[in-house]
Structures are given as C-alpha cells and as structure tokens.
Structure 1
Amino acid sequence: MSQFASDNYAAMHPEVLAALAAVPAEPAGAYGADPTTAALASAVRRTFGEQAEVFPVLTGTGANVVSLTAMLPRWGAVIATDRAHLHTDENGAPERVGGIKVLPVPAPDAKLTPEAVHGWAGDLGDIHRAQPLAVSLTQATELGTVYTPGQVRAVAEAAHAAGMAVHLDGARLANAAASLGCSLREITTDVGVDVLSFGGTKNGAALAESVIVLNPEAVDGMEFVRKSAMQLASKQRYVSAQLLALLTAPEGFTEPLWWRNARHANAMAARLREAVLGTAAVDRGLVQFTQPTEANVVFARVPRQLAEQLRHQHHFYDWAPGGHPDLVEVRWMCSWDTRPEDVDQLAAGVGALA
C-alpha cells in the first residue's frame, strides 16, 4: 500500500543512516559535548548566520514548547493561527508543559498577517489578559501554503514594533524554501525571525528536531528549559548527526540533502495535482482542490465513497468535513521517498473510480 498520509511515514534517508553509522564507535561527551554536535553548530552558523545557536531536541512538539517557554515570561502568550499545529495538534502541550496561552486567529489560508498582530496588541499592559509577547508562524503552513519572505518580514516588523518576539515552526521549512527557490536563511534570519523550530523528521531524519536561536536576546535560559522539558538527549551526537547530514552536501553533490529531499517531495505533490487535474473526475466536478499546492501536499474535496475505495490501495487521511455528508476533504501528503509510480497510480485510481 502506498503512503500519502504524512511525511512522518517516510523512511530514514540512506544518507542520514550513513551519517549515523559514521559517528565514531567510541565514548564521547554526553549532552552535546561531542565533536558531532560541535560540527552541527558550525553548519548551523554557516546556514543561518554567525549568531545562530542550535539546540537539538527529540520531537517537533518539544521544539515548539522549548522555543516558546524560553521566549515568554510566565504571564506571556503567543499569537498563532487557528490552524497552527501548536494550537490544534499538540494535545495542549504549550499550555500543559509551558504554561503558555495560545491566542488563535482565524486564517482560512493558515497564514498570520500583520493585522492579526495589531488585533491582539491592544491587550498589552492589561493585567486581566495574558500578554501577547510572541507570534508563531508555520512555514510551510498546515494547509501547504507558503509565506513569501516579504510576508514573513511584514509580520515580524509588526510584531517587533509591538514588542513581541517572532517564532517560526519550521517542521516543513525545507519544503517552503525549496518551493520559493531560496535559502533557509532568506526566509528566517534575514526577515526577522527570532527563534526557529527546525524540522528534520519530516525530511529524511528518524528522530531529529532542533531549536535554532537566531536572536539571542529573544530567549532566556534556553539550556535549562530544554532540560526541564525533557528534550535534552544524553547521547546527543546521534541526534546531531542526523541534522548535520541534512544541512550538508556529501562528496559528489552540490546541494544539501534537505534541499534535494524537499524538492522531490514538492515535485511529487505537483505531479499528483497535475495528474488528478487531467482526469474526468475534475471535469465532472467530483474532485475539487481546496488549497493551492505550494509545498508537498494536495488538499481536495471528494465523494466520501471515492475516498474509501481509494484507501484499498493508498493510505491517506480525511482532513475535514466536505460540507455535505457525502463529501470529505482529504489530504494527500508526499515525502522524500514518494515514488512517481505511486503518484500516477493514485491519480489513475481517482479517474477510474470517478
């Protein structure tokens, strides 16, 4: 059965596996005091700027919680869209673990705007309200949409003008950068992001995420927060090795692995959308795309019966109700190991069943 449920389903990339195997089989300093983590720190500075400091963690939820806890005082709150992963799919971890109130903003395209920042800024100084002292953007968003550098900069400038720090949930940052054709720095450091949750697991790693502090003045006690949030790995070199593999280009390659993996995943999503678009199902109005395909995911509204029949050969999630009991919105997610033939078979199945 082919997998279009999530890029979390993808295997570890062979280059990441090789990087793990290449970690010296000898004792090394624990908790990040090792040569591999030092090499990762250098790679992060080359990628994001000389002020950048990396803190490897174990999960994407952990990266978000650690980031925001270090960014906010006990009375602080974070502005995010109502689609944000930290608001909808982290089981209340920011609230439960970090004691952070999330201030959701309606966003049909899952993008935060300067107007949303302005809308919450009026609560600053009101002792009866959680203080909106940070904003969090997701890049690429939960709906597969991508912020341009200008859009991120506009939100960051509005936030900074109001005294708020800027966090970016970059679980799929690689896909956004590949979609835009720009570097990781161009959509983070250069446009005003203060703290980044940089994802590896969705892009070829097995168990590797990180917090990257781009502006040291935006956090306090990051080292202690990471430990108290249970995100400090003792044998950190094995987490660092995975991230290092993603950020570097081995001999024989001109592009780093993160770029190659993300570009392939995006290309498979574009191929899927184009192939489905060419079927009679779209011509007859049975399949309607609900979001632009800007990264590695396709959203479509389809007959519920069609979705159930397709699942005999392809695994994917229902995303939302389709506006009628007989309809459902589905999500088809592509990854670094999605094969063109699986894409073509899914599209052919849509056409045949329709």
Structure 2
Amino acid sequence: MKRGFGSDNHAGIHPQILNSLAKANIEHAPSYGTDEWTEQANENFRQHFGKDAQVFFVFNGTAANVTALRALTRPYHSVLCADVSHINVDECGAPELLAGCKLVAIPTTNGKMKVEDLEKAFIRRGDQHYSQAQVLSITQPTELGTTYSLEELKSLITWAKSKKLYVHIDGARIANAAAYLKKSFKEFTTDLGVDVVSFGGTKNGLMMGEAVVFLNKELAQDFKYIRKQSTQLPSKTRFIACQFQAYLENGLWKEIADHSYTMALYLYEAVRNIPGVTVREIPQSNAVFATIPSHWVKTLREKYFFYVWDENTFECRWMTSWDTQKEDIDGFAELLKELAK
C-alpha cells in the first residue's frame, strides 16, 4: 500500500523501535512486567512526568482510556468529554460498557472545550436520580488536530479541581502536543494537576502498545487488578516496554513528532491555495483538515488514501506520520491541482 494520509497508525514501525524489539528478543525474561525492559521504561516515564508517575502498559488506545476511566469512576459517575472526543465517538461505547460510567458530551469549537460549557453540564450535584460528574477528560491534541495552549489547559484543569473532579488526558498523540507547545510532558500534565494520562505509542512509530500513566499515584493503588480484569495485562511485557524505552530515552519521540508536524505544515502550504480546497486552519499537530468537492474523493483515494471526516460536508482529514516524505505531499498536491482545473 502506497504511503498516504489516512492515519499515523497506517505507518510501519520506526526502524529504531523495530531494532529495540530485536534486541529484546533474546533468551528468556520474566513475564507480566517484572523484566528489566519494563523497569527501564518505567524510569524513562518518570524522567518525563515526575518521580511519582506510575506506569502500566496495555495493548491499545481504547484499552488505555477505558481502564484509566475505570480507575477513576464508579457506575453512578459521569465523565465530561468533548463531543468529538475519541472516547465519545470512536470507541464503540466501550467506556460506558466496560467502565460502567456515563459520558457527557460537551460542545466544542475546533475540538476544544470551554469552561462556560462545562459549567452548564455540571448540574444536579447530590441528586440521586442523576449521574454524578467525576472526571474531566481532555484530548490533547484534539480530534480536530488543534492543541490546547498551556493557558487553556490551566483554565480547564483549575475549573475541574475546583469542582473536585479528576482530570484524564487522552494522549494518543501527546508527543505532537509537546512538540507544538515546545514544552516537556511534565509541564502540561503533572505540573498542572492532571491525574492520569493515556499515553500513545501506536500512532507514534511503535508496533503496538500504549501506557496508562498515573500522575496521582494514589489512584494507581488497585490498577493492577483493573488491568488484569480488563484482559490488558501483557504476558511478554518486555516487547511493549522495550519500544517505549527506545521511544523515550534518547529523544526519538521528539524527532518523530517534529517531523510529522513539519510535514503537516508542508502539506498545509502545498494545498491551501488550490481552488476548491478549503483548509480549516494552520495545523497545530500532525493533521490537516480540509473540505473538498465530493467528486474528487474517489480519484484522490485511488492514489493517496485518507478518510472523509464529515460525510455531510466532505471535510477530510489528512494525517502525516514519522515516514511521510515531501514527495508524497508534492504528488498529492499535484493531483489536487489537476482535479481543480
């Protein structure tokens, strides 16, 4: 399949991460996270998030979100989340089925929530007939490719803490946010009072695997049971851990994020002035959202795969990744220009 713009999880494994798997594939090692690779990866996470960070590896992003929310809620609780968030739109109801909590979708502007809209949803406290808000879940970057600024995050998190809510970050692409903000992971999570992060790997050059990172260590106390009960305890944990070790310890995460963002900006510049293409805004992560005539889609996707984000408006999502090359973008832009004639 030719490189396209469907998703960053369409890309293969980054060579350095693939090499880490080969290096870990030696002799025998203890199972269930008691190996040396897991110990080192945990230390890598603590270096980025703080000494109290508690790390648990799982198989995929939905599992990271669901198990994290299970740790923060009981069945009579609700989670305030963006209307376009992955947990609300793209997890097939898994948080509500498996965590047992209710999701309350908050209207957004370009994927971002605002305090005034959260206030409207924070109602009926103590009413036994109504699910009680317990968690604010923030996607960073958002599903629309926008990135909350540090001030925007402070505003949301300060509000949540004033209401005694836990704060969860869906960070499937959190490295892209760090690169865009030019901040360390710790500066826009731990230091602001975030309780738990779903930390993405699969979309960032790993073969598979995500991490649930508790920054409020008290909440991690029983998580090992939740992970096991949720069928997310890897037996050969070293093969997830070794990938995160390679990803985190020597700045590979930043190299990948910087490249994919640079490619998104290059894509934006290449297409923004083409007649018939309406780009939502300058990229703030590794995604370009653009509306195109519906009859262009089939021809474009025959050579460069991508997803139609909104089937009513034909707004499309074009994602870049660690292996996107300028020639991929140049070819795509030329095809758009041909269709625009």
Q: TM-score range by the shorter chain?
A: over 0.9
Work out whether residues 70 and 220 of structure 1, in 8 Å CA contact, stay in contact via their aligned partners in 2: no
Deviation of 1:20 after TM superposition, in Å, equals: 1.1
Q: Distance in 1 between matches of 2:89 and 2:122?
A: 23
Amino acid at match of 2:338: A
| 1:301 alignment partner in structure 2 | 291
Alignment of 1:343 onto 2:329: yes
Aligned counterpart, 2:253: 258
Q: Are 2:311 and 1:316 equivalent residues in the alignment?
A: no
Deviation per CA, 1:229-286: give whole Å up to 9, x if none.
111101111111111111111xxxxxx111100111111111001011243x2xxxx1
Give the match for residue 267 of structure 1.
262
- The whole-number CA distance in structure 2 between the counterparts of 1:94 and 1:220 is 20
Using the TM superposition, give the Cα deviation of residue 227 of structure 1 relative to its aligned residue in structure 2, in angstroms. Answer: 0.7
Distance, in Å, in 2 between the alignment partners of 1:38 and 1:218 is 20
- Match runs of 1:195-344 below 5 Å: 195-219=196-220, 221-249=222-250, 256-279=251-274, 281=275, 286-323=276-313, 328-344=314-330
Q: Helix, strand or coil for the counterpart of 1:126?
A: coil
Aligned-partner residue type, residue 349 of structure 1: L
Query: Could you list the per-position Cα deviations for residues 196-222 of structure 1 after superposition, in whole angstroms to 9, with x for gaps in the alignment?
Result: 000011000011101000012345521
Deviation by residue 1:175-214 (Cα, 9 ceiling, x = unmatched): 1111111111112111221100000110000111010000
Tell me the distance in 1 between the aligned counterparts of 2:258 and 2:125.
41
Give, as a single letter, the amino acid of the residue that structure 2 aligns with 1:19.
S
**Given that residues 247 and 253 in structure 2 are in contact (C-alpha distance below 8 angstroms), is that contact kept between their aligned partners in structure 1?**
yes
Shift of 1:311: 1.6
**How far is 1:30 from its partner?**
1.1
Gaps of 5+ in 2: none
Higher mean C-alpha deviation, range 190-199 or range 213-222: 213-222
Say which SS state the counterpart of residue 258 (structure 1) adopts: helix
Contact 1:194 1:213 in 2 (8 A): yes
Name the structure 2 match of 1:156: 157
**CA distance in structure 2 between the aligned counterparts of 1:289 and 1:57, rounded to whole angstroms:** 36
Q: CA shift at 1:10, angstroms?
A: 0.6
- In 1, the alpha carbon distance for the partners of 2:218 and 2:193 equals 13
Displacement of 1:50 in angstroms is 0.7
Aligned mates of 2:281, 2:78 — CA distance in 1 = 29
Structure 1 residue 108: Cα displacement: 2.9
Question: Could you say what secondary structure the match of 1:9 adopts?
Answer: coil
Structure 2 Cα separation of the partners of residues 11 and 128 of structure 1: 48
Q: Which letter does structure 1 place at the counterpart of 2:267?
A: L
Distance 2:216 2:8 in 1: 30
Tell me, in whole angstroms, the C-alpha distance in 1 between the residues paired with 2:111 and 2:176: 16
Identity %: 40
- 1-structure distance, mates of 2:311, 2:122: 33
Q: How does 1:1-354 map to 2 (within 5 A)?
A: 1-23=2-24, 25-219=26-220, 221-249=222-250, 256-279=251-274, 281=275, 286-323=276-313, 328-354=314-340
In structure 1, C-alpha distance between the alignment counterparts of 2:272 and 2:207, rounded to whole Å: 33
Deviates more, 1:301-310 or 1:6-15: 301-310
The runs of at least 4 aligned residues of structure 1 exceeding 3 Å deviation read 217-220
How many residues are paired up? 339
Aligned-partner Cα distance in 2 for 1:155–1:12: 35
The secondary structure found in structure 2 opposite 1:210 is strand
RMSD: 1.3
1:334 CA drift (Å): 0.6
Could you tell me which runs of 5 or more consecutive residues in structure 1 were left unpaired when the two chains were aligned.
250-255
Moved more, 146-155 or 60-69: 146-155
User: Counterpart of 1:179 in structure 2: which amino acid?
Assistant: Y
Look up the SS of the partner of 1:141 in the other structure.
coil
How far residue 149 of structure 1 moved from its aligned partner, in angstroms, is 1.5
What secondary structure does 2:34 align onto? coil
Structure 1 distance, partners of 2:228, 2:281, is 39
- Is the CA contact 2:106–2:118 (under 8 Å) kept in the aligned structure 1? no
CA contact (8 A) 2:106 2:121 kept: no
User: 2:312 and 2:72 mapped to 1: Cα distance?
Assistant: 38
